[in-house]
Amino acid sequence: MAAPAPHPTTPAWTFLTNHTHVLVCLAQNEAITLREVAAQVGITERAVHAIVTALEEEGVLTRTREGQRNRYKLNLSYRLRHPLESHRKIGDLLKLIAEH
């Protein structure tokens, strides 16, 4: 399967990482498919799967199987990892950028 084409208005670089973009998608819809996340973020489904797996292993999210779909629950109290922002939690970041 070919990689999704970047969104035509996506700039060459952004302030937030793909990890953050994936988290925003999951925060907006806990039942979203990885294919849908890939389309929204503008990366491959394989890349999204790798990000979700890494976040799950780190304890940032949990993945629960419901029938043929997964549901994702974010650990909003997980602290950001970089020393400059480690005083903040993922929930703090998502409040600033996620649609509610």
Residue 93 · residue 20 · CB < 8 Å: yes
pLDDT at 51: 98
CATH number for 18-97 (one of 1.10.420.10, 1.10.10.10, 3.30.360.10, 3.40.630.70): it is 1.10.10.10
Residue 66 · residue 27 · CB < 8 Å: no
Q: DSSP letters of 30-81?
A: TT--HHHHHHHHTS-HHHHHHHHHHHHHHTSEEEEEETTEEEEEE-TTPBPS
Q: Which two tokens stand for residue 86?
A: 């480690």
pLDDT-based confidence at 12, cuts 50/70/90?
A: confident
What global pTM score does this model have?
0.85
- Whether residue 99 is predicted with pLDDT greater than 90 in this model: the reply is no
> Percentage of residues in the chain with pLDDT exceeding 70?
88
Q: Write the pLDDT tens digit of every residue in 60-72.
A: 999 999 998 999 9
Please give the average per-residue pLDDT across 30-59, as a whole number.
97
